[in-house]
A and B are shown apart, each in its own frame.
Chain A
Amino acid sequence: MTLPTLIRLALRLLFREWRAGSLTVMATALLIAITSHTTIGFFTERLSNAMEAKATHLLGADLVIKSPSAISPKLLENYTNGNINENLNDAPKASLNIAHTVEFTTVAIAGDELKLTAVKAVSSNYPLKGFMRTSLTLFGEEITTTDSPPTGELWVEHRVLSSLSINVGDTVDIGDAALKVSRVLTFEPDRSGAFYALAPRIIMNIDDLPKAGVVQQGSRVDYRYLIEGSPANIKTYRDWIKPQLTPSQSVLDIHNERPSVSSSLVRAESYMKLSGLVAILLAAVAIAMSARLYAESHYDTSALIRCLGGRQNDVLFIFILQLAILAFFSGVIGSIFGWLSQSLIAFLIQDMLPESFPQPSLTSAWTGLALSFIVLFGFSLPTLIRLRQVSPLRVLRKNLEPNSLSGVIIYLATFIFVSLLIFVYTQDIRLTAASLIGGATIALFGFIIVALLFMLLNKFNQKSPLIIKSGIRNLIRRKNETRWQTLAFGITLMAMTLVVIIRSDLIDTWQSQMPEDIPNHFVMNILPGDVNAFEAFLAEKKITSSNLYPVSRGRLTHINNVAVKKSVTKEEEGNEALNRELNLTEAKVMQKDNRLVQGEWWSDKTKSSKTSPTPSIPKVSIEARLAKKLNVKLGDELTFFIGSRSLKASVSSIRTVKWDSFKPNFYMVFEPGSLNSYPTTNLTSFYLPEKNRDALNAMLRQFPAITLLEVGAILEQIKSILAQVTLAVEIVLSFVLFAGFAVTFAALQSTLSQRLHEGALMRTLGASKRQIRINQWVEYAMMGSLSGLIAVSGTEVVLWALYTQVFHLEYNVNLLLIVLLPLVGALVIGLFGVFTSRKVLDESPTLVLREL
């Protein structure tokens, strides 16, 4: 047959097939798989772009060059927009925006009052990325702004106002310049180490700097060049500038400056990907089942075309072309659906997004299209290829079935496809192997359990009430098919249950991480004498706070008597923990959310038995990541400089810290009493609702020495991200549920023609519709509850493994599941089963019998 003829025939057959509905399940399953894949793809791409954008906002630029002195203009100027210098040919020409900042500490003076402040002088295009938040009055309404102070003006933190006893509108002297305070600064994007910086911030215009004359040769100044541009230009520039910098200069970008996307987001993303994978695998099962049915119902077509002289490959081509068309349309429509559903998510949460949410690229649509072909062909070709083998003799002898490919080949092919899919999705060979082994084990045990259950059922059916007896007998009689169906439903139900349970756990964890009253303020420098009064103040205002921690500020200088600067590697020289003073604290018990990874926490006993002959040095517990970077081991001796005195301590434990908990966290925690002879102040955090912000005024008036930091803006950002992710997770979950339903339908359809025939016979023999309907209900509901039992055992085993082996949590058998799943199974399979079999009752028996 010629190609055009074959194409025409394939299209004609496909069109009718589509109208008759025999492709619905296959196409729907495929559509679910592709929609799920593309939604997740589009959304996670947007999410990570948004995260990246947020990170650059926190950095204030795409790239920052940090230097202790002004860098040569040559390194910058021919990059600036419209300022391309033809003479400097060695430098790549690129258009970048550059903002300048100069940071230094200086004394601000207002009348008789003095205060040491951290000043940042900024060019007028600052901030390049992100925004500042300011208010026009002290603790007044916050306004987001991308402006910067004009010349002659200052934006200051509230602490500057209180310590200088001035108000907005007053004048402050910075060096020789008298500048007017025009706004109160509440948030700036690129504040590194914001929580612990001590001197309050003042932002001024860089053009006022010469007049002020505070920055002179030799003064400690931090010059920053904030650079913005397209990713390609940024990369070219970074590669070009890096080798030209001196050791004291450095390049910062989002990857080394800010901690990457927090762990909850990483977990959310892997959850989405894994659920997406579950959805695709379930859809693949549905496709494989309906493809088998499709192939079987086309043996006659195939035989006839062959009988009329079509070649084997003509027949195969017709069906492959049909698949290709189906794959193409499902891929395209699924991608469109994916695009729409991610747009819907973005639309639903647009209020929570402070900045624009970047549009995704088309990558996911392309992979979606490819996936459509891979899934459809991978899971239907092994059965459809049999159509090629159909003997033309079938036109004379109906019962002639084509030789199937050997079972081994089909299973091997399917296995390879499943492994490939899992691997492409997880990019993790161990996870792939684990899921394959886990899946195979579950299937094997599932099958054994099903076989046992059927045996039991058979045994006890003698004693069943009459009304359900024949329904159950039908189930057992058909056991070759129904056992597989039960197993398929069981595993589907299990996958759905797992995805629901893990989702709930995930979201619970987030909610417990981000409770309503998570601290949005930090207070430092609470004097030891003020502690009681401060606690009383909090109690009076009904403000919930975390514990108070005594804090000494000190620098880590030596590890095992080797100077730190010498003992660490070159990259770690820039580590913030080494370059600035650390908050050192002491505590009797470990903070709840910290976890020991090595060593032991000190107990009261070791403290009291302090009768050892050599007065031992105090113990210290160090944060795990820092310990790893500095290569510090248990028992190492650390030397700190606190004020002008040194303190030696031996490392007795290493612990992890939840940095994103928004509670006070410490790199170094000492044994109680260690800091007794050193100057300490206290630190705490508390939650204050937005509407009660005026309590801060009273607090600052009563305790003028304290340092107050507001972190509400950052918190809001994080909360909005979690809300987005929760919604995305929920949408992904719905794909898994839909895919599960597709499997159910596909499996039920596979026995439909047999049931139709039987039903017609029964009715011809005089059975009433009522009787047949009861039988159907009994049979399907029984199958559903058996699959519920399979799902319960599978779910419990998987959860147990996850909790005890992966999360290291205690696992309690979920009793509710044991009751619920068989019931849900019975109900769902019962409803779906009776629904798909409704034709058995509706159609006239003679019609059914004639069709066969």
Chain B
Amino acid sequence: MSNLALAVQALHKSVELNQQTIEILSDISLSITEGDSIAIVGSSGSGKSTLLGLMAGLDNATTGDITLMGNNLSTMSEDQRAKVRAEHVGFVFQSFQLLPNLSATENVMLPLEVLNQKNAQSQATAMLERVGLSHRLTHYPSQLSGGEQQRVALARAFVTQPDILFADEPTGNLDTKTGNHIADLLFELNKEINTTLILVTHDEHLAKRCQHTIRLEAGALVTTS
């Protein structure tokens, strides 16, 4: 049996809102093996993004443990978790999240720079060429189409060769055709780099391309396959 990339134990998440406690996630346990690809599906508001954020160490769980590449996130400080993210994690978002003030290359260089890697520029250029944007290296996000922006985001996510990639509705802001291209690219890169993929989507077609599917309903895990 291979190593666990991610293990979630009895995870609860609740927030205070207008003096009421709202339970967003309740008692979630799961484990994901390195190299697997998992789709988290569920209707809007079911808690998918919240779960993703917790697993990636962007937020604190109310109770429960999350172990990411051997690091117990629940015992770590903000900055320690940031270090884990930098070393092991890549992200792709529905709304691209490129820095508008950096060019395509500079955006891709950013995670390499966080890791203090030397040849950031050449690695970034190579990665952009890989996603088919060699002609857009110096363009700024506002000069790129949605599909191109998401390609830059993919390049940024894979350039550090992360152990785990989190993707939250990566095709959600794109039309079907462009979305399919992006999904193809995502899975291709995933295979090349052999990254563990955790993909949040409400698109069943996209979910089917993953090895496993987890379904959330009102913050609870209903099925895994």
Q: Are A9 and B101 in contact (CB under 8 A)?
A: no
CA distance in complex: A2, B116 (Å): 7
Cβ contact within 8 Å between A396 and B78: no
Q: Chain B interface mostly helix, strand, loop or mixed? A: helix
A760 vs B33: C-alpha distance in the bound complex, in angstroms?
47
Partner of B85, one of A8, A9, A13, A308: A308
A 389-421 to B, binary, CB cutoff 8 A, 1 in contact else 0: 001110111100000000000000000000000
A12-B102, A391-B58 known; A306+B116 contact, CB < 8 A: no
Contact stretch, chosen from A43-51, A297-305, A460-468: A297-305
Interface positions, chain A 285-305, Cβ under 8 Å from B, are 300-301, 304-305
Query: With an 8 A cutoff between CB atoms, is B126 at the interface?
Result: no
Chain A interface size range: 20 to 34
Cβ of A815 within 8 Å of any chain B Cβ, yes or no, is no
Contact A311 B82 (CB under 8 A): yes
User: Bound state CA distance, A301 and B141, in angstroms?
Assistant: 13
Contact yes or no, B102 A13, CB < 8 A:
yes
In the complex the two chains form, what is the Cα distance from A773 to B106 in whole Å? 40
Give min CB distance, B149 to chain A, whole Å. 11
The answer for the CA separation of A640 and B45 in the assembled complex, in Å, is 102
Neighbouring B residues of A308 by C-beta, 8 Å = 85-86, 91, 110-111, 114
Q: Is A643 an interface residue (CB 8 A)?
A: no
Residue of A nearest to B120 (CB): A5
Instruction: State whether the Cβ of A312 lies closer than 8 Å to any Cβ in chain B.
Output: yes
State whether A393 touches B59 (Cβ < 8 A): yes
Is the Cβ of A1 less than 8 Å from the Cβ of B113? yes
Taking a contact as CB atoms under 8 Å apart, the answer to whether B87 and A13 are in contact is no
In chain B, positions 7-65 with a C-beta closer than 8 Å to chain A are 49-50, 52-53, 58-59
Least Cβ–Cβ distance between B110 and chain A, in angstroms: 6
B211 to chain A, nearest CB (A): 24
> A406 CA to B86 CA in the complex, in Å?
31
Do A310 and B101 touch across chains, with their CB atoms under 8 A apart?
no
Residue among A17, A310, A397 facing the most chain B CB atoms (10 A cut-off): A310
| A20 contacts the other chain (CB 8 A) | yes
Q: Does B208 contact A (CB under 8 A)?
A: no
A5 and B116 contacting across the interface, CB-CB below 8 Å:
yes
A16 at the A/B interface (Cβ < 8 Å)? yes
Which residues on A sit within 8 Å (CB–CB) of B82? Answer: 306, 309-312, 392
Please give the distance in Å from B116's CB to the nearest CB on chain A.
5
- Are B97 and A300 in contact, with the CB atoms below 8 A? yes
Question: Which residues on the B side are within 8 Å of A311 (C-beta)?
Answer: 79, 82-83
Residues facing B in A640-656 (CB within 8 A) are none
Question: Would you call B158 an interface residue if the criterion is a C-beta within 8 Å of the partner chain's C-beta atoms?
Answer: no
Identify the interface centre among A12, A16, A392: most chain B CB within 10 Å of its CB: A392
- Chain B residue with minimal CB distance to A850? B146
| A307 proximal to B (CB < 8 A) | yes
| Interface members, chain A 1-60 (any B CB < 8 Å) | 1-2, 5, 8-9, 12-13, 16-17, 20
* A17:B101 contact, CB within 8 angstroms: yes
Q: Which residues of B contact A393 (CB under 8 A)?
A: 53, 58-59
Q: Which of A304, A312, A392 contacts B99 (CB 8 A)?
A: A304
Chain A residues in 8 Å Cβ range of B89: 309
Q: How far is the CA of A17 from the CA of B114 in the complex (A)?
A: 21
- List the B residue with the shortest CB-CB distance to A314: B114
With A12-B101, A301-B99, A391-B58 as known contacts, state yes or no: A307 contacts B49, CB within 8 Å: no
A396: B residues at CB distance < 8 A:
49-50, 52-53, 58, 93, 168
User: A310–B113 Cα gap in the complex (Å)?
Assistant: 9
Q: What is the 8 Å Cβ interface bit string for chain A, positions 308-325, against chain B (1 contact, 0 not)?
A: 111111000000000000
Q: Which residue of A lies closest to B157 (CB)?
A: A308
User: Is B115 in contact with chain A by the CB < 8 A criterion?
Assistant: yes
Interface size class of B (residues with CB under 8 A): 20 to 34
Q: How far is the CA of A12 from the CA of B121 in the complex (A)?
A: 14
Query: Within the assembled complex, what's the spacing in Å between the Cα atoms of A8 and B109?
Result: 12
- Residue of B with least CB distance to A398: B95
The answer to whether A12 touches B49 (Cβ under 8 A) is no
- Nearest CB in chain B: distance from A204 CB, A: 80
Q: Which of A16, A309, A398 contacts B102 (CB 8 A)?
A: A16
Please measure, in the bound complex, the distance between the C-alpha atom of A5 and the C-alpha atom of B115, giving whole angstroms.
Answer: 10
**Interchain CA distance A397-B85 in the complex, whole Å:** 18
Closest to B52 in A: A396
B110/A305 in contact, CB under 8 A: yes
Closest residue to A851 on the B side, CB-wise? B142
Q: Give every chain B residue within 8 A of A300 (Cβ-Cβ).
A: 97
Whether the pair A395, B79 counts as a contact (CB closer than 8 A) is no
Contact A392 B58 (CB under 8 A): yes
Q: Are A1 and B101 in contact (CB under 8 A)?
A: no
Q: Is A16 in contact with B101, judged by CB distance below 8 angstroms? A: yes
> Are A310's CB and B114's CB within 8 A?
yes
Q: Which of B178-218 contact A (CB under 8 A)?
A: none
Query: Chain A: which residue is nearest B200 at the CB level?
Result: A396
User: Max chain A CB contacts within 10 Å: which of B83, B87, B101?
Assistant: B101
Q: Quick check: B101 and A309 within 8 Å, CB to CB?
A: no
Partner of A312, one of B58, B78, B93, B110: B78
With a cutoff of 8 Å between Cβ atoms, the chain A residues found around residue B83 in the complex are 309, 311
Residues of A within 8 A of B110 (CB): 9, 305, 308
Q: Are A309 and B168 in touch, CB under 8 angstroms?
A: no
Cβ contacts under 8 Å, B79 to chain A: 311-313
On chain B, the residues within 8 Å of A398 by CB distance are 95
Least distance between A570 CB and chain B CB atoms (Å): 72
Closest to A395 in B: B97
Q: Are A12 and B106 in contact (CB under 8 A)?
A: yes
| Chain A: CB-nearest residue to B84 | A309
Name the contact of B93 in the complex, choosing from A9, A13, A395 (C-beta under 8 A): A395
Are A307 and B85 neighbours in the complex by a CB distance under 8 Å?
Answer: yes
A313 contacts across to B, CB distance below 8 A:
79
Chain B positions within 8 Å of A12 at CB level = 101-102, 106
Known: A12-B106, A309-B87, A312-B78. A1 touches B116 (CB 8 A): yes
Q: How far is the CA of A20 from the CA of B99 in the complex (A)?
A: 13
Contact A309 B85 (CB under 8 A): yes
B167 shortest CB reach to chain A, Å: 11
B residues in contact (CB < 8 Å) with A: 49-50, 52-53, 58-59, 78-79, 82-87, 89, 91, 93, 95, 97, 99, 101-102, 106, 110-111, 113-116, 140, 168
Additional A-B contact list (20), CB under 8 Å, known A16-B140, A305-B110, A396-B50: A1-B114, A2-B116, A5-B113, A9-B110, A12-B106, A20-B101, A300-B97, A306-B82, A309-B89, A309-B114, A309-B115, A310-B82, A310-B114, A311-B82, A391-B59, A393-B58, A396-B52, A396-B53, A396-B58, A398-B95
26 sample A-B contacts, Cβ–Cβ < 8 Å, listed by A number: A5-B113, A8-B113, A9-B110, A9-B113, A13-B101, A16-B101, A16-B102, A16-B140, A301-B101, A305-B114, A307-B91, A308-B85, A308-B91, A308-B110, A308-B114, A309-B86, A309-B87, A309-B89, A309-B115, A312-B78, A392-B82, A392-B85, A393-B59, A395-B91, A396-B50, A398-B95
